[in-house]
């Protein structure tokens, strides 16, 4: 049987350490999602895309000392304190600050400087600030500034960044469409057989019926995203996807094209990214889903990942749709 001393010296520090590590890894954010509590994922997501800060807004402000106009700003420092920064009327004066919430009695603070830090401010509450001058030879204070201010939490959205690691996992190859026909079980789909340099052609199902007749696509060189997870589409398994440019409203869609003399089967890459395609499956599919919002065409129709061109050994890939999306 373990003695009391052993329990105190061994188990209590161990349990405390494990609890502390869990607390550090993830803030305590409780959100119900699909029937279970998912704390860590949501906390990481929130920290990645938003940042919260205190914004100071003056509702009223007035300088009253001898009709002069000065400056009084409110900022929040990195410790969460409100810092009042005001223009001193005279260097020899001391300043007495009367501050507090409008519905509660105010507090006093005295300073000889133009920067005054005030703790315990709560957001979404209106405060009153009055600043008085105090001369040594004058017994009564003179009001030089008064105002009302509000501290509000504002959430700033941080623009997401493209993951070059996800981009490097994609296997995009030059292909040539050998045959194309309408899907027998779907009015909006075409079924293409595409040579991408493998022993057998790839079967790709795409939603291009509204934009092309099957014969218009035969013999055309295209770009095929090869390592997506295979997916059955109305009974026919599609082993990849055609990369296409499109207008914002999807009224026009066009397959991306490589330069004319690019060899079938060549691996296409993003400028400055070393491509290391992963095997076909879920991981590649998820990587594509994370970067697809960053794929577009520029004013000349060149396909880009943010500002990185989609390239072959013969030059960039393109389509006739300018300033559009790529998917």
- The set of residues, in sequence order, having a beta carbon less than 8 Å from that of 294 and lying 6+ positions away, is 162, 305, 306
Task: Quote the pLDDT of residue 145.
Answer: 85
* Same-domain check for residues 172 and 209: yes
Provide the mean pLDDT of the chain. 82
Q: Under a CB-based contact definition with an 8 Å cutoff, are residues 317 and 268 in contact?
A: yes
DSSP 59-120: EEEEE-GGG----EEEEE-TTS-EEEEE--S-TT-EEEEEEEETTS--EEEEESSSEEEE--
Average pLDDT for residues 175-188, to the nearest whole number? Answer: 94
Q: What is d(CA 113, CA 119) in angstroms, rounded to the nearest whole number?
A: 17
Pairing assessment for the beta strands 172-182 and 267-270 based on DSSP bridges: antiparallel
pLDDT of residue 310: 97
Residue 25 pLDDT grade (very low, low, confident, very high; cuts 50, 70, 90): very low
Calculate ∠ Cα 74-79-82, nearest 5°.
Answer: 20
Residues 292 and 222 both lie in one domain: yes
pLDDT of residue 3: 57
Residue 12: which H helix or E strand, with range?
helix 12-25
pLDDT at 45: 38
Q: What pLDDT score does 47 carry?
A: 40
pLDDT, tens digit, 9 for 90 and up, residues 139-153: 677 888 888 888 877
- Residues 96 and 175 both lie in one domain: no
211 and 128 together in one domain:
no
Q: Is residue 266 part of a domain?
A: yes
Whether 179 and 317 map to the same domain: the answer is yes
Compute the residue count for the chain: 327
| Residue 246 tokens, joined | 């499109």
247: pLDDT confidence band, cut at 50, 70 and 90? very high
pLDDT tens-digit map of 251-272: 999 999 999 999 999 999 999 9
Residues 171 and 318 in one domain: yes
pLDDT at 18 over 60: no
Domain assignment of residue 241, given as a range: 164-326
pLDDT value, residue 10: 60
| Same domain assignment for residues 212 and 252 | yes
Read off the tokens for 22: 């869990």
309 and 254 together in one domain: yes
Query: Dmax of the chain from CA atoms?
Result: 100
Instruction: Please check whether residue 73 lies inside any domain of the structure.
Output: yes
Q: Is residue 37 in a domain?
A: no
- For residues 269 and 126, membership in a common domain is answered with no
**Segment 307-315 mean pLDDT:** 96
129 within some domain:
yes
Which residue is it, tokens 């990195």?
Answer: 78
The pLDDT value recorded for residue 211 is: 94
Examine residue 179 and state whether it is found in any structural domain, yes or no. Answer: yes
Q: Among 98, 119, 136, which residue terminates a domain?
A: 136
101 & 222 share domain: no
Burial 240-274 (b: 16+ CB within 10 A, else e): bbbbbbbeeeeebbbbbbbeeebeeebebbbeebe
Residue 242 lies in a domain: yes
Q: End of a domain among 116, 136, 156?
A: 136
3-class secondary-structure state, position 183: coil
Pairing between strand 308-312 and 267-270? antiparallel
Question: Considering the domain boundaries, does residue 94 fall inside one?
Answer: yes
Q: How many CB atoms lie within 10 A of CB 194?
A: 27
The residue among 119, 136, 153 that closes a domain is 136
Please tell me whether residue 314 adopts helix, strand or coil conformation.
coil
Q: DSSP code of 10?
A: I
The tokens for 37 are 């509590």
- Over range 221-231, report the average pLDDT: 95
> Which pTM was predicted?
0.56
The CATH number that applies at residue 260 is: 2.40.50.140
Q: Where is 285: in which H helix or E strand?
A: helix 282-291
Our count of domains for the chain comes to 2
Claim to verify: residue 121 and residue 202 sit in the same structural domain: no
Q: Could you tell me if 277 and 173 lie in one domain?
A: yes
Measured CA to CA, the distance from residue 308 to residue 34 in angstroms comes to: 37
Note whether residue 25 is domain-resident. no
Q: In percent, how much of the chain has pLDDT > 90? A: 48
Average pLDDT (66-78) is 73
């Amino acid at each position: 049987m373990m003695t009391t001393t052993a329990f105190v010296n061994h188990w209590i520090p161990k349990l405390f350490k494990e609890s502390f590590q869990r607390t550090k890894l993830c803030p305590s954010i409780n959100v119900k999602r699909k029937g279970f509590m998912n704390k860590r994922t949501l906390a990481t997501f929130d920290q990645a895309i938003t940042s919260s800060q205190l914004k100071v807004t003056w509702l009223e402000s007035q300088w009253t000392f001898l009709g002069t106009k000065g400056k009084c700003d409110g900022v929040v420092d990195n410790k969460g304190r409100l810092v009042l920064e005001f223009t001193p009327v005279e260097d020899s004066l001391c300043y007495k600050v009367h501050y507090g919430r409008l519905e509660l009695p105010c507090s006093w603070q005295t300073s000889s400087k133009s920067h005054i830090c005030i703790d315990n401010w709560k957001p979404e509450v209106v405060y009153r600030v009055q600043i008085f001058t105090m001369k040594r030879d004058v017994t009564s204070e003179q009001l030089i500034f008064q105002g009302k201010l509000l501290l509000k939490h504002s959430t700033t959205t941080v623009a997401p960044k493209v993951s070059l690691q996800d981009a490097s996992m994609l296997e995009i190859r030059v292909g040539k469409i050998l045959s194309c026909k309408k899907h027998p079980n779907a009015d909006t789909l075409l079924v293409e057989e595409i040579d991408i340099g493998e022993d057998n052609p790839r079967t790709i199902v795409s939603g291009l019926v509204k934009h092309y007749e099957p014969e218009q696509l035969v013999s055309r060189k295209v770009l095929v995203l090869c390592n997506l997870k295979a997916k059955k589409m109305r009974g026919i398994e599609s082993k990849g996807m055609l990369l296409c440019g499109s207008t914002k409203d999807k009224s026009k869609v066009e397959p991306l094209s490589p330069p004319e003399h690019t060899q079938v089967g060549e691996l296409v890459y993003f400028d400055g990214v070393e491509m290391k395609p992963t095997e076909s499956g879920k991981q590649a599919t998820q990587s594509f889903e994370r970067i697809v919002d960053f794929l577009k065409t520029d004013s000349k129709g060149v396909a880009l990942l943010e500002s990185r061109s989609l390239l072959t050994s013969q030059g960039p890939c393109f389509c006739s749709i300018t300033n559009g999306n790529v998917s």
